[in-house]
Structure 1
Amino acid sequence: MALPEEGESVYPIAILIDELKNEDVQLRLNSIRRLPVISKALGTERTRLELIPYLNDSIDDEDEVLLAMAEELGKFVPYVGGPHHATCLLVPLESLCNVEEAVVREKAVASLNAIAKELPRELLQSEYVAMVRRLAKQEWATSRSACSHLLSTPYPDLPDPLKAEFRDTYTKLSKDEEPMVRRSACSNLKTFVAVVTDRSIIIGLFVPLFIEQSKDEQDSVRLLSVENCIALAKALGSKDLVLQYILPGVRNYCIDKSWRVRYMLADHFTGICESMSEEVTQTEMVQSFIRLATDPESEVRTSIACKVYDFCVLIKIEQVIKDVLPIIRDLVSDQSQHVRAALARVIMKLSAMIGKDHTINFLLPLFLSLLKDEFPEVRLNIITKLESVNEVIGIERLSKSLLPAVVNLAEDKQWRVRLAIINEIPLLASQLGVTFFDEQLSELCMNCLSDKV
């Protein structure tokens, strides 16, 4: 790029050029962050004709510099003269879609999608589509991987022939020989189906692709397909169709040989349940819940333990008592402290759901066990949820059953546990009354004043 002539009010561009060539990465990074200032000094025409081509020639740089460039270019439409001139920004961003570092490509894709929303329709259908075609046919997997992120944003503004072409492109990317490309395509299915309004296309094209993705030889593809269950169910818009097309995939996820896939199912379990009919949730999904809660991998059990309450909201109380409470009993004594800690965050909320009698007969012993757990995070998670139990069983029952254990925790070796006890004292005092406070809690409060922390 030519330097501005002496005397022009664009001297900062000379500094930019020098810093872009500087060996110091931080200086180069700073110059990229100053691009809007430089562009204003140059004006829109020289920005298009000189600055943007210069940046395109500077793509071979450190990842953090390229990341900053990708971010800045996404906000550069006003600096090149507005939407009608914004296609010049596609060139460097297309180059950034080819780089090896994923975060750079992701930022370049985000910027391209932002620009696509501003482009006039004729430029979108010509220049932007041409760029997508080039990326889809590139030899490098990085380019094809980026391409699948660029299909859904412009899709609603395309004529039917180009829409069909984009769907065909997505299909090819979904079947690409490179796992990296298939992963990218799979992660974008949910955004694509959200902009496709024709249910026959959803059933005829995207459902078969989803089934293929859910059976991909790479577990990294299969696990990404789990989240697509929810998006596809919404796009199908029919519980019967969800039962026909989505439920078989859920069954397969439950018994997948990869724990990462089963973990992903547990992580999205309640969302998937909400997309099913009540009948399926109360039958098949209960069995799936039990399977995940007894999974051999602690990561899977931890994930599903976090969903205990949210899942119980979706089924009948009778099923909670019959099918879920026995599983909770096992999770309370799980060998993994992370499973117990996850359960402790949500188990107290079950009190209001199952009522006073079942709370007293079944849950109180489990609460007490968790209060005495050797892992401090478990104890902490229980202490901070005492109020939800008190609202169900009453303060008198709480004081007799759990309060002794709570008071003992005021001397816990972990300061976070002691702090949690102090935070609960105002609530306990307000509901127990002055007499009980004087007898049971006043000494505890005084001792806390001399705590070493």
Structure 2
Amino acid sequence: MAATQAKSAKADDMGDDALYPIAVLIDELRNEDVQLRLNSIKKLSTIALALGAERTRGELLPFLTDTIYDEDEVLLALAEQLGSFTSLVGGPEFVHCLLPPLESLSTVEETVVREKAVESLRTIADQHSAEHLERYFVPMIKRLSQGDWFTSRTSACGLYAVAYPRLSTAVKADLRKLFTGLCADDTPMVRRAAAAKLGEFAKVVEQEFLKADLIPEFFRLAQDEQDSVRLLAVEACASIASLLPKDEIEKRLVPSLKAAVEDRSWRVRYMVADKLVELQNALGPELSKTELVPAYQNLLRDGEAEVRTAAAGKLKEFCNNLPSEGREQIILSNIIPCVKELVNDSSQHVKAALATVIMGLAPLLGNEKTVEHLLPLFLIMLKDEVPEVRLNIISNLESVNSVIGVKQLSQSLLPAIVELAEDGKWRVRLAIIEYMPLLASQLGVDFFDEKLTALCLAWLVDQVHAIRDAATKNLRRLVEKFGLDWAKQTVIPKITELSKAQSYLHRLICLQCIRNLADVVGREASMKLLLPILMILAVDPVPNVRFNVAKTLREVAPTLDEGTRTNQVKQALQKLKEDKDADVQHFADQALHTIY
């Protein structure tokens, strides 16, 4: 009541009832409850709509600009809201009115708030006319670039690229000068921000100024005393290389790249490994072969596991991007020796990363070389003590199968797969189940029946519930792949066997199989093959089985014809509804209400 009176009094003090939304906003933003203030900021668009464009520009935005002192969460929401305010201030003609509050938000201490403010500024930059860019946006960039606090200067770095293309020649020169100043700033955080945006800015700067102004700054940043700056210079290297002619790349950028590969900081070397394919695309096939292959060898043999992990993950892409002429020999002579070392690496992360991509070399090397050089490595990794390594190999078998064929695959890899399928760790068995449909599509029904179907059926009676559950879903996917005839010959007999098992848990798995398969096998098979099993289990001595029969009948009913639903199903459920067990009665009643 008091709060309402205060708001009314505030509105009266303003002398205009139309100012009430602003009065409410003022009170709410001064409230001690952070959540209330956050909710108020999230309603800004509604308030602006009620005020109209003119009063939003004249009253709401100045108020917001003057009150940027709030909790970071509130400021973040404000920065995000203002990025979509263009239509609420009157359209592109007045979008510059949004700059003051966003400029203030770009200077706050909290990084995520500044980043969101810069993101909103980048969004509305495109909505400025060329004239307004120079009149309003560029002065803001200059103020931020020359601010006393590093926070404003770091924010400024993200705004150059979006403004530069539409500016006059003289203003462009000013911006280039300001940006080079940021690259040489005394504060490492500012140099880091400049290095992060150097590649983006380079893409919009004219070729002549790129060489004269930005390339020297790139070299300066690449040799910075702070490794956090040097590693971002590596990221910029790929963007700059894509803009320069081959001779300039070879003369000016390759030496810096070589230095980065041998940098004393592992984080810089990691960045080279992470950006390797981008650098490869920028340098072109010839330089990739002569300069990057030796660098890649060094990265694969790096002393830090994090660097080797990043490099190993790029194996397939890097080799695929090598020039086709001589690629096979480069891989065999330069890359495979390093890969052989990584197969037995001390770090499980390195081996896991390698296992996801090593199969991708098979199409590049062909049948004979794959069997000779890669197959022994696959077998070693399939027996690795780390489950993730083994699973990553199995998940990528398709590329090998297409090269060496089912026969070779069965002789060499299948024994290892079967061993994994019977692994003592249930999570390994679970993961293998997930890959069975993939193996089914690769191996074909005959080969799958001979080697793996028995395993799939054995999982139905596994001691671990998660395995049994996954096995029933796996059967559904296999029936979808192999068809009804395969289901009749292989799966239905197993389900019938489970329905007669002594363990009630096996009988429950039988019901779960029926629920998963009913709509896949079709109406006729459901009525002739699955429904009789349900009728038998409806009188099972274990209540848990009987109420699961009721649940199963409810799910299976839509796959049956109306006559069967009316007669057999309804009668069975009515009988279960009269069961002495309360749970059976409950689920039978639920099923009756659902079906009828």
1:410 to 397, 421, 428: 421
| C-alpha distance in 2 between matches for 1:247 and 1:215 | 14
Q: Contact (CA 8 Å) 1:19, 1:31: kept in 2 or not?
A: yes
> Shift in Å at residue 331 of structure 1?
0.6
- CA shift in 2, pair 1:428/1:147, >3 Å: closer
2:344 corresponds to: 333
| C-alpha distance in 1 between matches for 2:417 and 2:394 | 7
Aligned residues: 451
1:256 to 252, 256, 263: 263
2:99 corresponds to: 90
Report the 3-state secondary structure (helix = DSSP H, G, I; strand = E; otherwise coil) of the residue aligned with 2:346. Answer: coil
| C-alpha distance in 1 between matches for 2:113 and 2:303 | 37
1:289 to 290, 296, 311: 296
**Residue deviations 1:57-109 (CA, integer Å, cap 9, x gap):** 22111111101111111111111122222222111111111101111111111
1:441 corresponds to: 452
Report the 3-state secondary structure (helix = DSSP H, G, I; strand = E; otherwise coil) of the residue aligned with 2:369. Answer: helix
- CA shift in 2, pair 1:446/1:147, >3 Å: same
| C-alpha distance in 1 between matches for 2:430 and 2:54 | 63
RMSD over aligned Cα, in angstroms?
Answer: 1.9
**Residue deviations 1:369-421 (CA, integer Å, cap 9, x gap):** 11111111111111111121111111111111110110111122444432342
Matches within 5 A, 1:71-82: 71-82=80-91
1:361 corresponds to: 372
Instruction: Work out whether 1:204 is the aligned partner of 2:215.
Output: no
> Shift in Å at residue 194 of structure 1?
1.1
How does the TM-score come out when normalised to structure 1? 0.95
Q: Contact (CA 8 Å) 1:384, 1:420: kept in 2 or not?
A: no
| C-alpha distance in 1 between matches for 2:390 and 2:200 | 41
2:411 corresponds to: 400
| C-alpha distance in 2 between matches for 1:427 and 1:246 | 44
| C-alpha distance in 1 between matches for 2:214 and 2:22 | 49
2:50 corresponds to: 41
Q: Contact (CA 8 Å) 1:113, 1:153: kept in 2 or not?
A: yes
| C-alpha distance in 2 between matches for 1:154 and 1:347 | 44
**Residue deviations 1:210-253 (CA, integer Å, cap 9, x gap):** 111100010010000111111111222x1111111110111000
Report the 3-state secondary structure (helix = DSSP H, G, I; strand = E; otherwise coil) of the residue aligned with 2:225. Answer: coil
Unmatched 5+ stretches in structure 1 = none
| C-alpha distance in 1 between matches for 2:172 and 2:226 | 29
- CA shift in 2, pair 1:418/1:12, >3 Å: farther
| C-alpha distance in 2 between matches for 1:53 and 1:226 | 42
- CA shift in 2, pair 1:429/1:115, >3 Å: closer
Paired letter, 2:204: V
| C-alpha distance in 2 between matches for 1:377 and 1:279 | 36
1:170 corresponds to: 179
> Shift in Å at residue 431 of structure 1?
5.6
2:586 corresponds to: none
Q: Contact (CA 8 Å) 2:401, 2:442: kept in 1 or not?
A: no
Higher helix share: 2
Instruction: Work out whether 1:61 is the aligned partner of 2:70.
Output: yes
| C-alpha distance in 2 between matches for 1:251 and 1:54 | 53
Percent of aligned pairs with the same amino acid:
51
Q: Contact (CA 8 Å) 1:383, 1:420: kept in 2 or not?
A: no
| C-alpha distance in 2 between matches for 1:135 and 1:432 | 63
Moved more, 365-374 or 437-446: 437-446
How does the TM-score come out when normalised to structure 2? 0.73
Moved more, 299-308 or 116-125: 116-125
Paired letter, 1:45: E
- CA shift in 2, pair 1:169/1:334, >3 Å: same
Report the 3-state secondary structure (helix = DSSP H, G, I; strand = E; otherwise coil) of the residue aligned with 2:242. Answer: helix
Paired letter, 2:319: C
Matches within 5 A, 1:3-402: 3=11, 8=17, 11-196=20-205, 198-236=206-244, 238-315=245-322, 316-402=327-413
Q: Which structure exhibits the higher relative contact order, with contacts defined as CA atoms closer than 8 Å and separated by 6 or more residues?
A: 1
Report the 3-state secondary structure (helix = DSSP H, G, I; strand = E; otherwise coil) of the residue aligned with 1:370. Answer: helix
